[in-house]
Amino acid sequence: MSRPVTRRPPKRNGGFSWGRFPMGDTGIVCYRLFRRDLTGAVHIQSLHFYPQDNRRAVALALREACHRLRDCVDEIDLAALGVTA
C-alpha cells in the first residue's frame, strides 16, 4: 500500500460495519468486519495486510471476506427462522 493508512473506527449501524486499525510502526493494517445476526449477536472477521500488499489484492480479499461473513450470518439467521436453504 503506497499511502499512509489512518485508523477508522467502526460505524454504529444495525447491520454491517468495518474498522481499520494500523498496528504501530510495523506497517501492518488490521481490517475488522462486523455483522449482527437477528438475535443481535456480533460476528467478526479479521484480516491483516502488510505494507508490500498491493491495493487490488487487499480490495479483493476484503470483498471475499465480506461475502463469507454475510453468508455465514445469513445461514445462522435462516436456521433461527427455521427456513432450510
In 3-state terms, what secondary structure has residue 5? coil
Would you say the C-alpha torsion 61, 63, 65, 59 has a positive or negative sign? positive
Which grid coordinates belong to 27?
A: 506497517
Domain parsing of the chain, residue ranges: 16-81
Which grid coordinates belong to 53?
A: 500488499
Which residue type is seen at 85?
A
Would you say the C-alpha torsion 35, 13, 21, 8 has a positive or negative sign? positive
Write the pLDDT tens digit of every residue in 31-63: 999 998 888 888 999 999 999 999 999 999 999
In 3-state terms, what secondary structure has residue 4? coil
Write the pLDDT tens digit of every residue in 16-36: 888 999 998 888 999 999 998
Which grid coordinates belong to 83?
A: 427456513
Mean per-residue pLDDT for 51-80?
A: 94
